[in-house]
Structure 1
Amino acid sequence: MTLILGVSAYYHDSAVALIKDGVVVAAASEERFTRKKHDSAFPCEALEGCLQSIGANVSDIDYVGFYEKPLLKFERLLETYLAFAPRGYVSFSRAMPPWLQLKLHIPREIRKHLGGKTKRRIVFCEHHESHAASAFYPSPFDEAAILTVDGVGEWTTTSWGIGNREKLELKQDIRFPHSLGLLYSAFTYFCGFRVNSGEYKLMGLAPYGEPIFADTIRKELIRLNEDGSYELNMDYFTFAHTLRMTGDKLERLLGVSRRNPESLVRQVDMDIAASIQVVTEEVILKLASHVHRQTGSDSLCLAGGVALNCVSNGRLLREGPFKNVWIQPAAGDAGGALGVAWLIWHQLLGNSRSANSQDSQHGSLLGPPIDESSELDELVRSGAVLHTFDDSAELDQRVASLLADGKVVGWVQGRMEFGPRSLGNRSILGDPRNTEMQSTMNLKIKYRESFRPFAPSVLDECATDCFEMKDGASSPYMLFTFDVLPSRRKEPVTPVEGIERVRQVRSDLPAITHLDYSARVQTVSESRQPRFHSLLKAFHEQTACPALINTSFNVRGEPIVRTAADAYRCFMATQMDVLVVGNHLMLREEQPESAVASSQTYLSNLAPD
């Protein structure tokens, strides 16, 4: 047996992955354990949880891989500072202490956190190599083109290459400061959202605006070449030498001041979001076309933070040159832990690879499972009132009935998802037919902006009854948008403007239909997700609707829940109606008032994301 540990840490969303004899057996982010969103510390608790879930110890680890090369990243910081000196002194002075004290000594830190129990040498790969490996090796393709796009690794911001069986080679890259990810983050910052966590808000805001600034962005901010390469006009960006992404010059160009965080969203913010979204999609399509010409492949694998832009992915699938597109569900830095572990198995150790026709990500249900008996016993001792069902089918019928009555249900089952999406094991569920459900779940459950869209989970066998998808197509990881069928659409009756358009009914599935009639779809198959599939089937039988709203089980500022205790606290801190953990059901009105008070205290201590 060979057990390989992959680690991503010290920048954003630390994580671990374990690969045993070429098969991924566990992966998790540290934030789920520490309850600190985007925790960048060494993922000690995630490692312990993953090892425990497979019955292994630190001493069983044969190889350790780190997802990037710290010395190369340090080189970039130094060269960038020298290029911009003395302007970048403040940011440089803040960045240096952590590097000098910790990040230049990653091997020492890893061995320390492994308790000195492994003497194996530590393998380092480049950041975009780990992204590429995380995309290709678990993909369903024996051979494929690879495209990675993010903010920045060491120097690289965008790269492409080719994967063939166990071989992977990157061919070309684009380097810092020219970065599509940082361009999108700069506009995230300009619109008042937090960089590295608010990009999905900008994407969600885009449909409410018109791309009136797109030409300005194309002419003044980014030069896009025929081969997909691009350059940013750094006169308008300050991320290379300050602690801010943009400055006064961009405000003058756009004719508007940057939005203050937490202030009301303006129409101009919506228009800016729409504009940068359109340009991002154009760059991705141009990159993909170049990669297709160079490789001649029918299949494309994607990773990097920009690969989480599901709107861009949907357009790539519809308009791009590739017949097949597969995206790593943990496309951000956390997925780098998977990538480096697979690189060790295939590239360093020379093991062969044969692609799984579905994929080798196992539905991305890779985190530690709940321990129903001990975790529920603890909740009962704390005063929780629950109903236990010996027959899971009976429970599904009850939950489906509650959902059909307009109840919001927290749903916790089995192994935790790896990646930013809840895929039916740590989810909050609702009825997509309910015209008030989007606003209700945003404002009373998630405590977040009312414009934020929700995604549908739909029975795999019924997906084409709701969405414009090819027969046999699937979207198990909620990474693509598809249009709602024209037969299910409705023209809005009352004309309104701005954010109020969220209340317009646009289809017979109003709670999941975006303003442009699209939806971020997750297809649920019986083979991969039997438990979640069973619930969806019960809801379908009762209502003739094969879909449910599926959003991550957390509130704003909190990581997705891991344990039954996390779920119960979130359940009681919100206006959720029902909580299901395993085969146990809890109704809000039956829970003790003391649980509400303690949960509200927890909620008040969360920082906004």
Structure 2
Amino acid sequence: MHVLGLSCFYHDSAAALLRDGVLVAAAEEERFTRRKHDNGFPSRAVAYCLREAGIDIEAVDHIVFYEKPLPKFGRIIETVIGEWPRSFPVWIEGVPQWLVTKLDHRSLIQRALGTRKPVLFSSHHLSHAASAFLASPFEDAAILTTDGVGEWTTTAWGVGRGTGIEMRQEIRFPHSIGLLFSALTAYLGFRVNDAEWKVMGLAPYGRPRYVDQFRQLVDLRPDGSFRLDLRYFAYCYSSRRMFTRRWERLFGQPPRRPEAELGEFHADLAHSGQKVVEEILLAIARHLRATTGLPNLCVAGGVGLNSVANWRMLREAGFDRIFIQPAAGDSGGALGAALYV
């Protein structure tokens, strides 16, 4: 049986092909187009996977997309309405594009592949969970997925046993570890959904001078659940700004211009934000270890690329072993969706 998994239309488009449950090929579209974070349909990645398998699209038994478009669109509409009228620019910029080009993913995928085969849909964080657990060496494990946002979920945790996955708890948009870190990325003058790694790299050069301010942004509970103070964030009603003027007043400086030099303030800010993100993830991991009793942990989602936080979860949360999906971001969702079928 051949299963083709697809991830696209947001960022990091990719395809993955399985034969009888074994990975034959997987690739990100950017490797062929040379466009970083290419979000278009992964036609070249699909062609590569089919070529590696020696088949054409008609030999594929199942085609599966990594998330569910309708709940995602519902979240966008509900958020726009809830933030009206200041969300009017989001409505003008985003909703027409969804209505015209993105809402009917099934037909878009069928046309792009040149087939009338049915298209299945996984959910975003289930795809992340499957990409980690079902690719891991573990028979059972606790699972943690965390990113900016999927359909509604931003962070989820659960348990994998054998070939089954049960997601037990979730944090929903607009409360998001990934969006907190992206707001910090934007404030430091880096590109969101691209340069979060620069913030992590800058952090060791700073000191924890702003940890208390970051803790004002997050209400963290002992079980790892959390809520953001949304007065400091603008992403619910703006496609151009991640944070508000209140954020700028909290930290005492305007945002860094991309071309400006990095200074002590920026390094300290990166260090402090990184530290608080580690605290959140560590609280979740400890809760997972205590409630599941399992010695293994699987991690995926874009925040799962935060290597220092992963190291701390392994060292301090009580797990014996940890598996991080190497393609932890949305590109790995193509693999996860295929594995879960």
Contact 2:130 2:337 in 1 (8 A): yes
Q: Which runs of 5+ in 1 are unaligned?
A: 345-609
Paired residue for 2:229?
Answer: 233
Amino acid at match of 2:318: P
Secondary structure at the counterpart of residue 102 of structure 1: helix
Paired residue for 2:3?
Answer: 4
Amino acid at match of 1:312: A
Paired residue for 1:443?
Answer: none
Deviation at 1:247, TM superposition (A): 2.2
Asked whether 1:19 is paired with 2:18, we answer yes
CA distances 1:107-134 after superposition (whole Å, capped 9, x unpaired): 0011001112xx3321111100000000
Contact 2:231 2:244 in 1 (8 A): no
Q: How do 1:353-368 residues align onto structure 2 when only pairs under 5 Å count?
A: none
Amino acid at match of 1:91: V
Using the alignment, how far apart are the partners of 1:206 and 1:12 within structure 2? 25
Asked whether 1:265 is paired with 2:294, we answer no
Match of 2:246 among 245, 249, 273: 249
Match of 1:182 among 158, 171, 179: 179
Paired residue for 1:60?
Answer: 59
Using the alignment, how far apart are the partners of 1:29 and 1:23 within structure 2? 18
Asked whether 1:319 is paired with 2:319, we answer no
Q: How do 1:200-239 residues align onto structure 2 when only pairs under 5 Å count?
A: 200-218=197-215, 220-239=216-235
Secondary structure at the counterpart of residue 174 of structure 1: strand
How many residues are treated as equivalent by the alignment? 340
Q: How do 1:190-589 residues align onto structure 2 when only pairs under 5 Å count?
A: 190-218=187-215, 220-243=216-239, 244-344=241-341
Using the alignment, how far apart are the partners of 1:272 and 1:325 within structure 2? 29
CA distances 1:222-280 after superposition (whole Å, capped 9, x unpaired): 01001100000000000110121012111111111100012111211111000000001
TM-score normalised by the chain length of structure 2: 0.98
Using the alignment, how far apart are the partners of 2:53 and 2:61 within structure 1? 15
Secondary structure at the counterpart of residue 171 of structure 2: strand
Deviation at 1:327, TM superposition (A): 0.6
Secondary structure at the counterpart of residue 300 of structure 1: strand
Deviation at 1:97, TM superposition (A): 2.1
Paired residue for 1:84?
Answer: 83
Amino acid at match of 1:125: S
Amino acid at match of 1:311: V
Using the alignment, how far apart are the partners of 1:12 and 1:252 within structure 2? 32
Deviation at 1:93, TM superposition (A): 1.2
Q: Which structure exhibits the higher relative contact order, with contacts defined as CA atoms closer than 8 Å and separated by 6 or more residues? A: 2
Asked whether 1:110 is paired with 2:109, we answer yes
Q: Specify the structure having the higher radius of gyration (Cα).
A: 1
Paired residue for 2:37?
Answer: 38
Contact 2:145 2:301 in 1 (8 A): yes
CA distances 1:4-51 after superposition (whole Å, capped 9, x unpaired): 000000001000000110001100000111111100000001111121
Task: Supply the RMSD in Å over aligned alpha carbons.
Answer: 0.8
Paired residue for 1:156?
Answer: 153
Paired residue for 1:408?
Answer: none
Using the alignment, how far apart are the partners of 1:49 and 1:133 within structure 2? 23
Secondary structure at the counterpart of residue 103 of structure 2: helix
Using the alignment, how far apart are the partners of 1:300 and 1:81 within structure 2? 36
Deviation at 1:141, TM superposition (A): 0.4
Using the alignment, how far apart are the partners of 1:237 and 1:194 within structure 2? 17
Using the alignment, how far apart are the partners of 1:64 and 1:58 within structure 2? 9
Amino acid at match of 2:322: V
Paired residue for 1:547?
Answer: none
Deviation at 1:298, TM superposition (A): 0.5
Match of 1:170 among 167, 170, 194: 167
Contact 2:217 2:232 in 1 (8 A): yes
Q: Which runs of 5+ in 2 are unaligned?
A: none
Deviation at 1:59, TM superposition (A): 1.4
Amino acid at match of 1:139: S
Amino acid at match of 1:95: G
Secondary structure at the counterpart of residue 132 of structure 2: helix
Deviation at 1:54, TM superposition (A): 2.3
Using the alignment, how far apart are the partners of 1:263 and 1:5 within structure 2? 44
Secondary structure at the counterpart of residue 151 of structure 2: coil
Using the alignment, how far apart are the partners of 1:112 and 1:262 within structure 2? 42
Deviation at 1:211, TM superposition (A): 1.2
Paired residue for 2:100?
Answer: 101
Secondary structure at the counterpart of residue 286 of structure 1: helix
Amino acid at match of 1:204: G
Secondary structure at the counterpart of residue 4 of structure 1: strand
Contact 2:289 2:317 in 1 (8 A): no
Secondary structure at the counterpart of residue 272 of structure 2: helix
Secondary structure at the counterpart of residue 246 of structure 2: helix
Using the alignment, how far apart are the partners of 1:291 and 1:80 within structure 2? 30
CA distances 1:109-167 after superposition (whole Å, capped 9, x unpaired): 11001112xx3321111100000000100101001110001000000000011111011
Using the alignment, how far apart are the partners of 1:271 and 1:92 within structure 2? 36
Paired residue for 1:517?
Answer: none
